[in-house]
Amino acid sequence: MHAGARIGVAAVTVAMFAGGGYAAYALVSDGGKEPARTASGGAAKPTGQSVVAEPPSAEAAAAGAKAFLAAWAKGDFEEAGRLTDRPDAAVAALTAFRTALTPTALTLTPTGAAPVVAPVGPSPSPSIAVAAPRGVPVAFLAEVGLPGAVRVWQYESAVAMVKTGDGGVVVHWDPTVVHPRLGPGMALAIRPVSSSAPSQVVDRKGRPVAEFPSVAAVLSQIEFADDGAQPTDGTGVVVTGASGGSGRPESLFTITASKDAAKKQLTLDADLQRVAEAVVKEQAGPASVVAVEPSTGHVLAFANNPTVGQNRAFGGATAPGSTMKVVTAAALLETGLTPDSPVPCPKNTNAGGRLVPNDFLDARPGYTFKDDFAQSCNTAFIEAAQARLKAGSLPAVAKDVFGLGLVWKTGLSAFDTDIPVETNAEQIALAYVGQGRIRTNALAMASVSATVQSGTFRQPVLVPGKAQPRAARTLSATVLNQLRSMMQRTAQSGTAAKALGSIPGAAAKTGTAEVGGQNPNSWITAYRGDLAVAVEVQAGGHGADAAAPAAAKLLQLGNNH
């Protein structure tokens, strides 16, 4: 059910870089054949070998990555270079890393399979002929001890493992192996950094949050308010050489900071952020989570797995499945339907010529509307909406009540939810259950629960003081209370009960979204007290399977002001 199962490989650690004593590691064979070795016992440099289009097996990729990381960690750069498709470039880059940073310790821990990437393309090495190979990516965590730093620098990267013509497996060399922010002509360095350096970014209580991987990945993109404070200098790790050498160095990690350095504040809460980072890392595939404070719209936590690449929590654009039934239910309740209204749940129904089933196989003719909501009956929702709503009703309620489709300015780039006004009968019907052409993300769906909890849409913000435009209207007190009661019932005895049933005051709606013919994506939107959350897990199955247990951990912690 879950994609991207983790590969169990051990951490590779050294306490200090040391000269001499080079250990030898063989190129890992994907066919049981050990490659040629030098007279000294080291693996022979892969000069003249071709890299083939066929990818290596997951096991061979994991073993090859482990061998490369072991050689890098112990300072054996010649050996590490032999385990790549561009030995000279690899040796030069790893040597530059050590020379620039003079690390006191280095731990490189393989963390499993990374998301599948496109073909890595031809290697620039003139000694290797490449036929558009496809890499098998293996993610790893780097922990770097630096002189004078009070904490270890942590970041995530990945290696793409490719197969050679003789069955060996090597790292496709790219500057991002050393650090994901590096590109051609760029390098790491230790330089003075201003008060806007990552270590000066704090949460709502003044606690540092820049060391959280999901936060660190987007720091350079956050639009902080200009408070007029004068920058003061500390020292930190930066990327140099951006924009053809003319760009301002990008700060990655602060080693020391001036005591009077100005702080940059976010709305985050470090306690919730820590849990958010943990729950997405527990998922087998890509995932994201967002926590919002309904009374203010403040984003209290967001996290992504992987942290490298798209900020899917804010920028994701995919169907939310049955979590959209919160909005559809609001629209239906406004037509006069009540939670106790009889709304039968047939086995399947016609959606503009397409037969739509439920996640369960039997018909449930005695269901009321609150039963349909709690057990997530697609057929009942589609038939009730087809009878009571107009084509533009769902997009209108989504925008006018929940703020979905407005232009949000959170302080960080975000994808604004798209719920098209459809004219095709099939697409109209699918939208009612969160399928079809609807695109949204965890940020928006957390805001949906926040709006139900507080009764008022407050645009989520990550940077305090950002403008929060209002939605056109609110739901009536009657409809609002009905919607809250149905979400509470879902958490107590419906599809979310296994994960949330023991959490007092929890309310939720799970979702299972079919996207691209793959295993369905797992979704939940939920709230408890002054805390609303949304979780999505790619190919995670039903909402109760992956997303709901993750949300439960955040709701259990709660919003401690």
Burial class (CB in 10 A: 0-12, 13-18, 19+), 507: buried
Q: What is the pLDDT of residue 3?
A: 36
Cα 414 to Cα 504: distance, rounded to the nearest angstrom: 32
Diameter over CA atoms, the chain: 84
> What average pLDDT score do residues 493-519 get?
93
Q: pLDDT tens, 389-403?
A: 998 999 999 999 999
Q: What is the pLDDT of residue 316?
A: 95
Q: What is the pLDDT of residue 247?
A: 55
Under 8 Å between Cβ of 64 and 161? yes
Angle value at C-alpha 379, between 376 and 385, nearest 5 degrees: 95
Q: What are phi and psi of 110, to 5 degrees?
A: -60, 135
- Note the pTM of the prediction, 2 decimals: 0.65
Written as six digits, the tokens of 476 are 């009536």
| Other CB atoms within 10 A of residue 399 CB | 18
**Phi-psi bin for 393: left (phi > 0), alpha (psi -120 to 50), beta?**
alpha
Give the percent of the chain with pLDDT over 70. Answer: 82
Q: pLDDT tens, 147-169?
A: 988 889 999 999 999 998 888 99
> What average pLDDT score do residues 504-524 get?
91
234: helix, coil or strand? strand
143: helix, coil or strand? strand
Please enumerate in sequence order all residues whose Cβ is within 8 A of that of 103, keeping only pairs 6 or more positions apart, or say none: 17, 144, 145, 146
Q: What is the pLDDT of residue 248?
A: 66
Q: pLDDT tens, 15-24?
A: 333 333 222 2
Q: What is the pLDDT of residue 65?
A: 96
Please enumerate in sequence order all residues whose Cβ is within 8 A of that of 387, keeping only pairs 6 or more positions apart, or say none: none
Cα 305 to Cα 508: distance, rounded to the nearest angstrom: 23
Give the residues across from 333 on adjacent strands. Answer: none
Scanning the structure block, which residue is given the tokens 């149905």? Answer: 486
Examine the pLDDT at 12 and tell me if it is beyond 70.
no
| Other CB atoms within 10 A of residue 353 CB | 9
Please enumerate in sequence order all residues whose Cβ is within 8 A of that of 20, keeping only pairs 6 or more positions apart, or say none: none
Side chain identity at residue 228, one-letter code:
G
Q: pLDDT tens, 428-485?
A: 999 999 999 999 999 999 999 999 999 999 999 999 999 999 999 999 999 999 999 9
Cα 453 to Cα 440: distance, rounded to the nearest angstrom: 20
Average pLDDT, the chain: 85
